[in-house]
Structure 1
Amino acid sequence: MDADFETHCSELVARERSGHTAVVEDNLLYVWGGYMSVADDEVFLPNDEIWVYDLERGVWKVFHMTGDVPPSMSGTCSCYLNGHMYIFGGCDDNGQTNQIYCVDLKDGKYTWRKIIHEVGSAPSPRDKLSCWVHKGRIIYFGGYGHKQLTDTDHRNRSFIVDEASWVGGVFWGWNNEVHVFDPTRASWSEPQTHGRAPAPRAAHASATAGGRGYVCGGRVMETRTSDVHCLDFESWMWSEILPVSSTPVGRSWHTLTAVSDSSLFLFGGLSVDCKPMSDAWLLDVETKKWREVEHPFRNKPRLWHSACPGQDSDVIVFGGSCDYILLIDTGHCNDALVFQTQPYPLIRICEDYIAKNVRDCELLRAQLHLLPTKVLSAVQTRMTFYRPSKKQKH
């Protein structure tokens, strides 16, 4: 992994945050929500703004949002589907929620729409969950939330009660439930899964690859794990991937990103001994081997950050905290880290080289106009990314 650049060239930058949500669409990174620390207070970020980062030009923009604006919150779960960003769950000033919202990212209006389901029952309120997208449907897994006493069954191991957190007939805890939302029908369903499901958990990481959903690690009651489980979306069969190599240490608040149909990229998180992590690993789900990878951001531990797939199998990590947020909670970040997981195509290598060096090389400047129109346009866009850094401001 020899990419060593960090996005820093824009005058306008998104605010520091953790517990936010982010998606990538057409080389644009969309960031919404989360929270930051102000003095000794935890402050939710504005719910009526969305930050957009141009991954090619290295420029941030912020847009005002209207419509059925969700409450300001953290720990919500987002995904990109058919030009829209969907969010579900999360924690606001009133606790966990189980509402679902969507916003069109392509019409330039950024109008939120609250979805009222017409079929089925929504999952119980929760945050720190994850989701997969498969054949136009969103599949949600796990999380931490609350249920009424009448909705809990101690014989049912899909919900483990947090004995330290219950008030007046309301119980909080971890779950391993699978719920499916179909946007075309505005319907919720709960498929019957088979096999041995992962233990109930929250603050885990998940990714979709090759028609399967993968779950890695997370908070399982009072511990943090690094186990990997796979859900086949055709048979709804759970299976556990038992690695045949060294494995990452247990963690929560990390990310898992598919970089191919058989390879998953893990980054960061909070370790079993509450240490913010900066290690990166690749898992080959076919050979069941983990491989730790070198990268230029070893001095940038992150937890409760976001990670999105970019072009050429890049992974874009944004925000998060570099501290153990339950104790310090002051190290929220606003930088975007670009991880290269595979060799770049020759055309990208050439475009980046020219864009990075054209200002300091007279020969390149003199011959720039000789490039084919399409290549010239790409190079000029990348020149914006590599322009000299200016003072950042909010």
Structure 2
Amino acid sequence: MAAEARDRFCVAEERSGHCAVVDGHCLYVWGGYVSIEENEVYLPNDELWVYEIDTALWTMHLMEGELPTSMSGSCGACINGSLYIFGGFDDKGYSNRLYYVNLRTKNGTYRWKKITNFKGQPPTPRDKLSCWVYKDRLIYFGGYGCRKHNELSDCFDVHDAFWEGQIYWGWHNDVHVFDTNTQTWFQPTIRGGEPPQPRAAHTCAVLGNKGYIFGGRVLQSRMNDLHCLNLDTWTWSGSIHTNGEKPKDRSWHTLTSVGDDKLFLFGGLSSDNVPLSDGWIHSTTTNGWRQLTHLPKSRPRLWHTACLGKEGEVMVFGGSKDDLHFMDTGHCSDLLIFQTEPYSLLRLCLDCIGKNATFLKTQISWLPPRLLQQVLKKITFWAAVKYRQEKRAETERQDQISVT
């Protein structure tokens, strides 16, 4: 049963450590946490926030079924219209449970289902891991979590230990696969190459049959290394030596495929504990990084999500603008949209009409029905954008008044 947001121009609640995916014309957001009076509060597990890309409108839907616990640091991915959630951290510790929900429901009801009748062995409990989607498979790498003494192996870098019960906490660099068609977990046999160092809070993306990993954290170090796993042969590339300048070390950033040979890197937390707002494009054709110079410097993000829209735009939602280790108060609710390739002529025309609807209102009704429908969505889109810009400006003005 859908519960519409109170304000048609509202936004999803601020959060970090959440999951987000794009399917069709919508961005879906679930989970994460916020800080209230220095306490970490996990957001409701029965709320799914949906952003309609064409109109820029948010709605909140109540969910049913076998609900996951409220968590942060879970790994979300979308296959054939279903959102899968694996792992995460809650008040009781780390999770290795797997859930899914059909996003293409016809009756407006979103119902979670816990996958229990699987074959094989799932990964050990963990959070802040990453996932590649390839051939209807969820391919998980790394993360931070706990293991028992008899589960220790070369793919686990111990950080701390609780000797009673012999429980160890640390970072992983193992690869686990869940086949959504056969409901089977398995660990592929890695056939060669040097694997990345165990890590968490890294990021990953798929180009063709290759899964890329960049950066992340282990112990007190953050990294800026780039690795690639061939998802057909299960062969690691080793650390890829790129040409020219490259991004600095970081964790809690995002990496998004934006073409046949390009990856878009955004934000994160640097080795100096500085929230980052820089963006980079990596070309696998030239094997080089290029820093983007037109991004706003005042909108840093870490532990956010980034999803590719239907016209090549990268949609960054939520996250924090502060160092979560020391301040943890700057959780965000705004949606940053980065255009990574030129828009079509139709898109440019629709945007122009939507921005100038007041001046063109007498002519808009002359448009053919199909085009008129697209124009009306664009009018709504730009009205929502203007409303939120005005609200944000007013909030910033009030904050300035409070400071002075």
Q: Please give the range of the TM-score, normalised by the shorter of the 2 chains.
A: over 0.9
User: What's the CA shift string for 1:309-360, capped at 9, x where partnerless?
Assistant: 002210000000000011000000000010001111111011011101121x
Aligned to 1:177: 174
Figure out how many residues of one structure are paired with residues of the other and give that number.
Answer: 378
**Hey, what does 2:135 align to over in structure 1?**
135
Alpha-carbon shift at residue 371 of structure 1 (Å) = 2.5
Q: Which residue in 2 is equivalent to 1:380?
A: 376
Aligned to 1:286: 285
Among 78, 83, 86, the alignment partner of 1:85 is: 83
Contact 1:295 1:339 in 2 (8 A): no
SS of the residue aligned with 1:202?
coil
Contact 2:87 2:127 in 1 (8 A): yes
Name the structure 2 match of 1:228: 226
Shift of 1:286: 1.9
2:279–2:295 Cα contact (<8 Å) kept = no
**Aligned-partner residue type, residue 54 of structure 1:** E
Once the 2 structures are TM-superposed, how far is the Cα of residue 53 of structure 1 from its aligned partner?
A: 0.8
Cα 1:85–1:200 shift into 2, 3 Å:
same
Please report how far the alpha carbon of residue 184 of structure 1 lies from its aligned counterpart in structure 2 after TM superposition.
1.8
Q: Residue 144 of structure 2 aligns to a residue in which SS? A: strand
Q: Is the 8 A contact 1:351 1:375 kept in 2?
A: no
Structure 1 letter corresponding to 2:134: H
Distance 1:295-1:27 versus aligned 2 partners, 3 A rule: farther
Shift of 1:210: 1.2
Equivalent residue for 1:18? 16
1:221 to partner: Cα distance? 2.7
Q: Could you tell which deviates more after superposition, 132-141 or 232-241?
A: 232-241
Unmatched runs of 5 consecutive residues or more in structure 1: 1-8
Kindly provide the amino acid, as one letter, of the partner of residue 111 in structure 2.
Answer: T
1:375 alignment partner, SS class: helix
Alpha-carbon distance between aligned partners in 1 of 2:277 and 2:378, rounded to the nearest angstrom: 28
State the match for 2:193 in structure 1: 195
- Asked if the contact 2:124/2:145 (under 8 Å) is kept, the reply is yes
Residue 251 of structure 1 contacts residue 272 of structure 1 at CA under 8 Å; is this kept in 2? yes
Give 2:304's aligned residue.
305
Structure 2 counterparts to residues 331-350 of structure 1, below 5 A:
331-350=330-349
Partner of residue 161 from structure 1, selected from 148, 151, 158: 158
For residues 35-94 of structure 1, what are the alpha-carbon distances to aligned partners after superposition, in whole Å with 9 as ceiling and x for unaligned? 001111110000011100111111110011110000000000010001100010000111
- Higher RCO (Cα < 8 Å, 6 or more apart): 1
Q: How does 1:77-156 map to 2 (within 5 A)?
A: 77-107=75-105, 108-153=108-153, 156=154
**CA contact 1:10–1:389 (8 Å) conserved in 2:** no
Q: Which moved more, 1:167-176 or 1:299-308?
A: 167-176
Please give the per-residue CA displacement for 1:202-252, whole angstroms capped at 9, x wherever unaligned.
000101111211100000332111111111111111113211010000000
Q: Is the 8 A contact 1:280 1:295 kept in 2?
A: no
Aligned to 1:370, what secondary structure does the other structure show?
A: coil
| Counterparts of 1:255 and 1:371, CA distance in 2 | 41
Write the distance in 1 (CA, Å) between the matches of 2:351 and 2:325.
40
**Pairwise CA distance, 1:270:** 0.2
TM-score by length of 2: 0.91
Aligned position for 1:49: 47
Amino acid at match of 1:73: M
Quick one: percent identity of the two aligned structures?
48
Per-residue deviation, 1:296: 4.2
Match of residue 32, structure 1, among 30, 33, 38: 30
CA distance in 2 between counterparts of 1:299 and 1:151 reads 44
The answer on whether the counterparts of 1:127 and 1:144 sit within 8 Å (CA) in structure 2 is yes
1:4 alignment partner in structure 2 = none
Please say if residues 12 and 392 of structure 1, whose CA atoms lie closer than 8 Å, have aligned partners that are also in contact. no
- In the TM superposition, residue 117 of structure 1 has moved relative to its aligned partner by 4.2
- The letter for the 2-side match of 1:189 is F
Give the TM-score, by structure 1 length. Answer: 0.93
> SS in structure 1 opposite 2:387?
coil
Report deviation, 1:297: 2.9
C-alpha distance in 1 between matches for 2:387 and 2:291: 32
Q: In the aligned structure 2, how far is the partner of 1:251 from the partner of 1:56? A: 33
Matches within 5 A, 1:239-258: 239=237, 240-258=239-257
Q: In structure 1, what is the Cα distance between the partners aligned to 2:295 and 2:284? A: 25
How far, CA to CA, are the matches of 1:93 and 1:346 in structure 2? 50
Extract unaligned runs of 5+ from structure 2.
Answer: 1-6, 393-404
Q: 1:38 & 1:279 partners in 2: Cα distance?
A: 28
